[in-house]
Amino acid sequence: MTTKILMVYCSCPDQRAGAEMASALVAQGLAACINVLPGITSIYRWHGETKSGTEALLLIKCPAGKYQALEQAIIDRHPYELPEIIAVSLEAGLPAYLDWIREETGT
């Protein structure tokens, strides 16, 4: 059976924090590739108030079997009280690219 690949979304306070997080996660073998998208605008509710801010968004590609470790690694180093961590299962993708993710993460 082929290991399922996830796309995990995680917002960070800025590009620097996002790049540091991405580097650590890739170095730990929890993800094969992470894109850091700077300058996104987030509008959200927090403690009953509508807020907005500029953040960086991480697009993390990882095998499903590494998700729990990835989630914990993000929680351990993320500066937010409640970090956004959302995983979506990828239904399709270039087979060679998906295989590369599996190879780079040892799955």
Residue type, 2: T
Tokens of 79: 């500066």
- Which residue in this structure is represented by tokens 């979506």? 88
Domain 5-104 belongs to what architecture?
2-Layer Sandwich (3.30)
CA-to-CA distance for 107 and 101, rounded, in angstroms? 8
Delimit the domains of the chain by residue range.
5-104
Q: Which among 1, 3, 9, 8 is positioned nearest to 65, based on CA atoms?
A: 3
**Is the separation of the CB atoms in 60 and 19 below 8 Å?**
no
Residues 6+ apart with CB under 8 A from 31: 8, 22, 25, 60, 61, 62, 66, 70, 105
Per-residue pLDDT of the chain (107 residues; tens, 9 = 90+): 589 999 999 999 999 999 999 999 999 999 999 999 999 999 999 999 999 999 999 999 999 999 999 999 999 999 999 999 999 999 999 999 999 999 999 98
Model pTM score: 0.94
